[in-house]
Chains A and B, each alone.
Chain A
Amino acid sequence: MRAQPLEAGGAGPLAAPRFASGARRWKVRLRIRAAIPRWVYVTLSISGFVLPLILWQWVAASGWVGSLFLPTPLDVVHSFMEWTRNGLTDDTLISIYRVVMGFVLAAAIGVPLGIYIGAYKWFEALLQPVNDFVRYMPASAFIPLVLLWVGIGEGSKIAIIFIGVIFQIIVMVADAVRRVPENYLEVAYTMGARQGEVMQLVIWRGILPELLDILRINMGWAWTYLVVAEMVAANSGLGFQILQSQRFLNTPKIFVGIFIIGLIGLLFDLAFRWLYRMAFPWKRA
């Protein structure tokens, strides 16, 4: 946006000449925060995927690195086809199930707790210090305990994901509540609002966009903990298959597993962003 008046060659001594040379126009586009043409943006985005792919193919085909360490892209595609015939759908679905369950449980408990910690000093004093303490304990370190307490069934994977994200959700939601401007609350009070109404009509409504962002970010972390959980105690799922592939030196399948997790993560992310745009039209203007 900044660069536009310059490009248009509008009035003013600082504006670039109307028939600026191509070189000068590009110099303007290299400035901090300068806008770039749409086609440049799209081309660069695609290149961000394609260039590493070409580099990968080139390195793998050159023979510098053994195929055990770096399979070619084609090997990975073959491995993908084979996995689709041997339960890729089941592995994917069970992994999604675990992530969504752990994540939804963590959100269902963490969001209300975060709201109350952010809104009431009583809750903050009681819960925030202990939450901050537990938050810094690595979730993966809880795995032995979880296995001991919950067993090796589905519950343990869900529990690890739950532990991995709930404390972050609490802290981030509490901060979002604290960021609701004091004036929003005071305006409501001067119109006769009660505590419950301020919570519902001001604080809840006020944090909704941030809440969706917080959930989006934590969904990403939930996938990280899924792999940790499945690597330790599972006999199905994407993380389990990645670990199995390592045992059998099936490097292409490791690549497939990682790519699929990345792709699912990206899809969840896009879904959250789409929901954000639909739910909060007032954020756009």
Chain B
Amino acid sequence: MSQSEVHFEAVSKSFARRKDAPLLVLDRVSLHVAPGEFLVLVGASGCGKSTLLRILAGLETYDGGQVILDGQPVHGPGADRAMVFQHYSLYPWLTVKDNIRFSRQLKVVRDNLTSSDVEAASGRSDALLNLMGLSHAANDYPNQLSGGMQQRVAIARALMNRPKLLLMDEPFGALDAQTREVMHDLIRHVHQLEGTTIVFVTHDVEEALYLGDRVVVMAPRPGRIDSVVGVPFGRQRDQDLKATVEFLALKRQILHRIRETSGMKTDRDMLDQLSQQGSSS
């Protein structure tokens, strides 16, 4: 099993703005992701969690610090890091099977290919179809599938090349609650089976705690790491865990941190102020 190790070393990033001063979205973020770890980044919108993930994917540049992947600084995207997006990521003109095998069309893969590899690859895509419960839909087009099935295809496609690092940017954010639970168990299963290092971004604290070995709580303005929570539930988990006292206590604790750092408190005060004005007049 090949697993990536990641070091973020004081990574900073700001977006240029037309009129105002540049917006600092990441302020000297340092973080270590251990090989084989399932790490979840959680936080309110604007905390830079997606930006951090996209920097690791090589889809975004950064201004300061360093991102080291397996001893090498990250410059641009590569086949060793696969990414699963929330929306619009399957190619609608390819069948499920061809979507999963898309990377086989790329030179970076073709170059290192022998004929036995090609055979192994079609075996791999069949295995992934099975693993994801998609065998019956292999020849369907994405727009014939439900949202949950589409994301399963996206995950299978990401796993096709046996990436050492799997990056997931709110992959289940658009799914309904029941489908999401199924996907949670599926992705945990995949993690144990493939042993890939996973970095997962979400705004859903319950999802973060259920999936992660560690949960990194991020705070906005400027984007930074607020706290890192080790999840003490081991790797054998089931849905009942979500109702236990320990789980709920941890969830409450993290939600508090997010609320405190995200400026929601100010909104609350403003609301109180407004309602007082309304009643006094």
Q: Which A positions have Cβ atoms within 8 angstroms of B?
A: 181, 183-184, 186-194, 197, 201-202, 205-206, 208, 280-283, 285
> Chain B 79-97 against A: per-residue CB contact (8 Å), 1 yes, 0 no?
1011101011101111100
Given contacts A282-B93, A282-B141, contact A191 B88 (CB under 8 A): no
Q: Which of B83, B141, B167 contacts A285 (CB 8 A)?
A: B141
Q: Is B85 a contact partner of A191 (Cβ separation < 8 A)? A: no
With A206-B93, A282-B143, A285-B141 as known contacts, state yes or no: A187 contacts B83, CB within 8 Å.
Answer: yes
Of residues 43 through 102 on chain B, the ones whose CB sits less than 8 Å from some CB of chain A are 57-59, 76-79, 81-83, 85, 87-89, 91-95, 102
Contact call A193/B108, Cβ cutoff below 8 A: yes
B77 near A184: Cβ-Cβ < 8 Å: no
**A to B CB contacts below 8 Å, 9 in the list:** A186-B77, A189-B77, A190-B82, A190-B167, A191-B106, A197-B107, A205-B93, A281-B141, A282-B94
For B85, what are the chain A residues with a Cβ–Cβ distance below 8 Å?
Answer: 183, 186-187
Given contacts A184-B91, A186-B83, 4 further A-B contacts (CB under 8 A): A187-B157, A190-B58, A192-B109, A201-B106
Task: Write the nearest CB–CB distance from B65 to chain A, whole angstroms.
Answer: 22
Question: B118-147: which residues lie under 8 A (CB-CB) from chain A?
Answer: 140-144
C-alpha spacing A93/B209, complex, angstroms: 72
CB-nearest residue of chain A to B77:
A189
> Which A residues are CB-close (under 8 A) to B79?
190-192
Contacting pair B92 A282 (CB below 8 A): yes
B262 within 8 A of A: no
In the bound complex, residues from chain A placing their C-beta under 8 Å from that of B142 are 282
CB-CB under 8 A from A197, the residues of chain B are: 105-107
Majority DSSP secondary structure for residues of B touching A: loop
B151 within 8 A of partner (CB): no
Total of A-B residue pairs, C-beta within 8 Å:
80
Any chain A CB within 8 A of the CB of B103?
yes
User: Known contacts being A208-B93, A280-B93, A285-B143, is A194 close to B107, with CB within 8 Å?
Assistant: yes
Closest 8 CB pairs of A and B: A192-B79, A192-B108, A282-B141, A189-B77, A190-B83, A191-B103, A181-B88, A285-B144
Interface size of B by Cβ–Cβ distance < 8 Å?
A: 35
Assembly CA distance A143 to B81 (angstroms): 57
- The answer to whether B89 and A183 touch across the interface, beta carbons within 8 angstroms, is yes
Q: Name the contact of A192 in the complex, choosing from B59, B87, B103 (C-beta under 8 A).
A: B103
The A contact surface, by secondary structure, is: helix
B196 adjacent to chain A (CB < 8 Å)? no
Contacts of B109 in A (CB 8 A): 192
Report the bound CA distance from A281 to B93 in whole Å: 8
What's the minimum C-beta distance from A54 to chain B, rounded to whole angstroms?
44
CB pair B89–A193 under 8 Å, yes or no, is no
Does B161 count as interface, using CB distance less than 8 angstroms?
A: yes
Contact among A189, A191, A282 for B59, CB-based, below 8 A: A189
A194 to B77, CA, bound (A): 10
With A183-B87, A184-B89, A197-B106 as known contacts, state yes or no: A190 contacts B81, CB within 8 Å: yes
> A191 and B161: CB pair below 8 A?
yes
Write the chain B residue with the least CB distance to A200: B105
Nearest Cβ on chain A to B157's Cβ, whole angstroms = 8
B105 touches A201 (CB 8 A): yes
Tell me, rounded to whole Å, the shortest Cβ–Cβ distance linking B54 to chain A.
8
**Which residues of B lie under 8 Å from residue A201 when comparing CB positions?**
102, 105-106
| Complex contact B58–A191 (CB within 8 A) | no
Verify A189–B58 contact, CB threshold 8 A.
yes
In Å, the complex CA distance between A205 and B195 comes to 34
Question: How distant is B50 from chain A, measured CB to nearest CB, in Å?
Answer: 12
**Which B residues touch A183, using CB under 8 A?**
85, 87-89
Q: What B residues does A280 contact at CB under 8 A?
A: 93
Complex: chain A residue closest to B161, CB-CB: A191
Closest beta carbon of chain A to B67's beta carbon, Å:
15
Residues of the B chain whose Cβ atoms lie less than 8 Å from the Cβ of A194: 106-108
Chain B residues with Cβ under 8 A from A285's Cβ?
Answer: 140-141, 143-144
A108-B158 Cα distance, complex, nearest whole Å: 36
A181 to B88, CA, bound (A): 7
- The residues of A that contact B91 with a CB separation of less than 8 Å are 184, 202, 205-206
B85 to chain A, nearest CB (A): 5
What B residues does A190 contact at CB under 8 A? 57-59, 77-79, 81-83, 158, 167
CA distance A197 to B79 in the complex (A): 14
CB distance from B101 to the nearest CB of A (A): 11
